[in-house]
Amino acid sequence: MRIGEAIKLPITAVDSKQLLLHVIGKGNKERALPLTEVMLDMLREVWKTHRSSRWLFPSQMIVTPLSYGSARAAFVKARSECGFDHRFRPHSLRHSFATHLLEQGVDIRIIQILLGHSSIRSTEVYTHLSEPLREDLRRLLHQTTEGLFEGRRPHHG
């Protein structure tokens, strides 16, 4: 999820019965993201810290959503505490999420939906060959070509 999408989440975006999070993305397009029980529990714990009747992530005034600047500052603080440098940005989380899904064999069209991309071309940016994907490709190529040249002499022209 983008920072701008997260900070505007009303508490009504959480559908605990169906384990979904309803997000309004770019162009006012809504998408439903799956939640796990663990994620739902974490969101409930966050809500208990402020008990806003409207916002999942409210500002200190509780009646308005968290500002982009405050969310960004929280990210920078967390990034620093984790030992990452300035090159690790909020978008890095989206990129890592998409890459991990690809490495797990999730169809790129599903990833497109989860990221809220209207065009598959936007999602294709994430299809770079990470090392696990390279290793999978090597394994597949080995299986495909194993024994192909056994018993044959190379032909020199």
Q: Which residue in 48, 55, 51, 50 sits closest to 14, CA to CA?
A: 55
- DSSP labels, 38-99: HHHHHHHHHHHTT--SSBSSB-TTSSSBPPHHHHHHHHHHHHHHTT--TT--HHHHHHHHHH
Residue of 29, 91, 109, 138 marked active site? 91
Q: Is 48 a catalytic residue?
A: no
Q: Is 117 a catalytic residue?
A: yes
Q: Is 126 a catalytic residue?
A: yes
Residue of 31, 89, 94, 100 marked active site? 94
Residue pair 115/101 in contact by the 8 Å Cβ criterion: no
What's the rounded Cα separation, in Å, for the pair 33 and 111?
Answer: 11
Residue of 2, 72, 95, 100 marked active site? 2
Residue of 26, 44, 134, 138 marked active site? 26
Alpha carbon dihedral 132, 136, 137, 141, in 10-degree steps, equals: 150
Catalytically active residues are: 2, 26, 91, 94, 117, 126
